Amino acid sequence: MTAPQTARVNGIDLSYEVAGNGPLVVMVMGTGSPGRVWKANQQPALVRAGYRVVTFDNRGISPSSECAQGFTLDDMVADTAALIEHVGGGPAVVIGTSLGGRITQELALARPDVVRAAVMIATYGRNTALQEAISAGERALYDNKITLPAEYQAAITAHLNLSRHTLDDDRSARDWLDVIGFSSQAITPGVRAQLELHNREADRRTAYRGISRPSLVIGFADDRTLPAHLAREVAEAIPGARYEEIERAGHFGYLERPDEVNRLLIDFLGSLPS
């Protein structure tokens, strides 16, 4: 594994890390989260399976450029494409979750030359009224300089992102509340700029019929943040896409059920033509 590096691409700085050797895999995180989240489970499993894995902090997440003045989803798509070209060895298998899934879909559509295959986890192709309301509330908290009590913030985060099966077990729930409380990320100006992307997002399902790269979509049965039917819709829109749904998992299913997620990833990557 290399130490964190900085690439000057697409007019900004992106902080990234490379681990392993083999075919290139680039992993894209969701709103407000750093790339190191992948290192808990998916990155080590992919490295052991013989892949060269790149994780990075999206624009908006320090030490990458925060770009607090604002940016677009297209900017983030262009960042990912430029990073693939920067590290070399592409085209890459691109794996994204949540907002990272949306970026991956758009990248496969706009820049198929840099995408070998695409994996979208807990993703979506359209907004819902509930999503819009939650996102508007998150922006309002920041804009009005409101900080929720840490214990309540952890509880709300757990409720929105973990399966009821996890939270129904008190010992498991306490452990997760501790982890969330310890690792919670402050909403910075850069994260606020990411949150703005969720304001009146377009329905892109029709456009995704133009995606030509092999695609795997993974939904989580107990996802409250982006319900599984939204991921299924993306799979239905992409010609030939494979859809898998993991039970007893919420929006953080790649952390709750890492073995199942890793198995699907490695199986899909192993099925790709050389």
Positions marked active-site: 98, 223, 251
121 forms bridges with which residues in the sheet?
Answer: 97, 218
Residue carrying structure tokens 């000057």: 8
Tell how far CA 174 is from the center of its chain.
25
Any residues with CB less than 8 A from the CB of 68 and at least 6 apart, and which?
188, 189, 190, 192, 193
Angle (deg, nearest 10), helices 99-110 and 73-87: 70
Any residues with CB less than 8 A from the CB of 12 and at least 6 apart, and which?
59, 64, 65, 67, 79
Any residues with CB less than 8 A from the CB of 178 and at least 6 apart, and which?
none
206 φ, ψ to 5°?
-65, -40
